[in-house]
Structure 1
């Protein structure tokens, strides 16, 4: 199993500074520093990112993420301990809760929604009780409500992936309330944007467009990478609504925002990279009837994904299969679906299952 010392030793052996590794992996430098110094667990997605940059494998325990998710569920959170003690909440607990949110978020990359949702739900429930019952200063309260909002966003995302759409919507909307309490308009925009993405996929795309536009317009002070994420979801909702002009305009703005990204991006947008943006562009091209142009974007992006991110690999292969099917190459579509199946089985997801069934029907 890879530990923090292994990561640091491998990086330094290759002559890479921490700042350079952060730029090349798209993780925040501060987060990687905490991982390398043992202040945070070593997630498998960080190991995979280091392996991609370094060009050689690091030993990793594939069972560790799932075990960690279950250990999280059965262990007692610091928030619960503080509630029982009746003490006034200070900065140390806020920092601990923030760290737990980050760890759970990274577990979502490698743990199935069925395994992760109970842990996230329990953490969110305890955090909500904490902000209701405990006493704290205004500055600490802002951090606590922000953590609750981020947990609600993660819970909504995981619940949606598990096919629990009504529950996911409740999580998202409760998170907006927490973001308002924290006076964090950018976090509120992220929650509304996440809900718009769910609605675009499962509901009325026009409602999704309205929510996505609201998120973009309301995200005062958003960093470039956050703005790129919000615009991506606007592009997708527009594509689902068959509004080609709005889709291309939003995708152009995504590229501009991504090019302007800096080092001060929030941790929760760590996963948005060039490959993710190209996948979304490919999906929009398919949706708007241009599958041939989508295939090279999707193929190149899929090659960059580590096998540990099985859900994303399966999902993106489903879109590549659809691009083949809509271009009339059913044999290539079926071969791509066959490639996707082992990844889908490795990390079960209702969202992935729905996608694969839909594309199989198109290939029938």
Structure 2
């Protein structure tokens, strides 16, 4: 019976668009209790059937605005429900606060300090690779989780702390993924998704889910990546900031591209167009989250060129990539090597092996001292593609130098 109740609670909560944390607060408020004897983890236990609400049922029904019978009567769904972001939260709550917190009380000053360190990591990632940033990023993340679990703070400070923890998890997950630590990156992304969901920040949750979807699409889990990229876009909602919607649509386009097939190719190109339309809606004075500072028309061009390269459309990919690379910041070595790798492949697809070889030489030179598994993987792709032209002297010279 408990699993039936759990499914009903979950269904009605999602109908209202509430997080588990929001439902827990509303139940406590309706019951008129002091403190929070019901928390997000308890709601999770109800929904998974690990516990039965029992005395909390009348209050659950009241805040969900349904009769108690709706919660206690098993419902048979006509078809499996569409996944939502909550389906991708960790099985256990990694952010459960300790019952006795001995770390003292913190305020908004400490949260502001954390915000500065998080943004500093983002800026460092622009010029350094994952292998260089892995240790400091994980150190900051462990410290943030420790602060959240073992210190006390006001509700407002706690919410802001969750937001910063989620932002930190996004950049730490990205760093870990770039370093080739994909299992660790997935764990970190899901931790951040839990924090963003508890903070009820749908845009941030979408960014974390989209980041994980991008990794899944690039590591042989294309169908999972496609599903999660769509969930990230849907979860963020139509009112998400313009840059956020553009970024999430870009990730949908990439996921469709990696999934393969004619229909997915069509969906990919459509998503690219929608991303450009979304970004065009951005206007001066519109407040955007700080973590979207890098999303602009140039980045959308980069994704379009990559999609066109993957889809073997070099006539479109080559001019796009040349335009992007012509104005790209040379200090961003990793990105420069990555984008050049797609240009090398596009030249090969255009039956221009000499140009492909010259571009590949630049890729090899730039990536030699970059501690990035993504870059190393792209080098392997370029060399494999060039092998088809091994009889061309310029290509043979590149292949023999590796």
TM bracket (short chain): 0.7 to 0.9
Picking from 348, 364, 368, the partner of 1:325 is 348
Q: Which moved more, 1:339-348 or 1:230-239?
A: 339-348
Q: Which moved more, 1:259-268 or 1:123-132?
A: 259-268
In 2: Cα distance, 1:200 partner to 1:86 partner: 40
- TM, length-normalised to structure 1: 0.75
Equivalent residue number for residue 259 of structure 1: 280
- Cα deviations across residues 121-167 of structure 1 (Å, max 9, x unaligned)? 00000000110011111111111011111111111101111111111
- Cα deviations across residues 235-287 of structure 1 (Å, max 9, x unaligned)? 00011122122111101111001111234111111112222111110111122
SS at match of 2:127: coil
Equivalent residue number for residue 313 of structure 2: 290
Equivalent residue number for residue 233 of structure 1: 251
Picking from 123, 132, 137, the partner of 1:106 is 123
In 1: Cα distance, 2:192 partner to 2:128 partner: 22
SS at match of 1:315: helix
- 1:361 Cα deviation (Å)? 1.1
- TM, length-normalised to structure 2: 0.68
Tell whether the 8 Å contact from 1:314 to 1:340 is kept in structure 2 after alignment: yes
- 1:348 Cα deviation (Å)? 2.6
Picking from 231, 250, 267, the partner of 1:246 is 267
- Note the residue ranges of structure 1 that are not aligned, 5 or more in a row: 1-83
Aligned length: 281
- Note the residue ranges of structure 2 that are not aligned, 5 or more in a row: 1-100, 388-402
Please identify the structure whose Cα radius of gyration is greater: 2
- 1:288 Cα deviation (Å)? 1.8
Residue 152 (1) aligns with residue 152 (2): no
In 1: Cα distance, 2:167 partner to 2:226 partner: 22
Tell whether the 8 Å contact from 2:312 to 2:346 is kept in structure 1 after alignment: no
Equivalent residue number for residue 6 of structure 1: none
Picking from 345, 350, 358, the partner of 2:368 is 345
Tell whether the 8 Å contact from 1:275 to 1:304 is kept in structure 2 after alignment: no
In 2: Cα distance, 1:193 partner to 1:360 partner: 29
Equivalent residue number for residue 31 of structure 1: none
- 1:346 Cα deviation (Å)? 4.2
Tell whether the 8 Å contact from 2:111 to 2:160 is kept in structure 1 after alignment: yes
Residue 131 (1) aligns with residue 131 (2): no
Closer, same or farther: CA 307–85 of 1 in aligned 2, 3 Å: farther
Equivalent residue number for residue 392 of structure 2: none
Deviating beyond 3 angstroms after TM superposition, the runs of 4 or more aligned structure 1 residues are: 84-87
SS at match of 1:120: helix
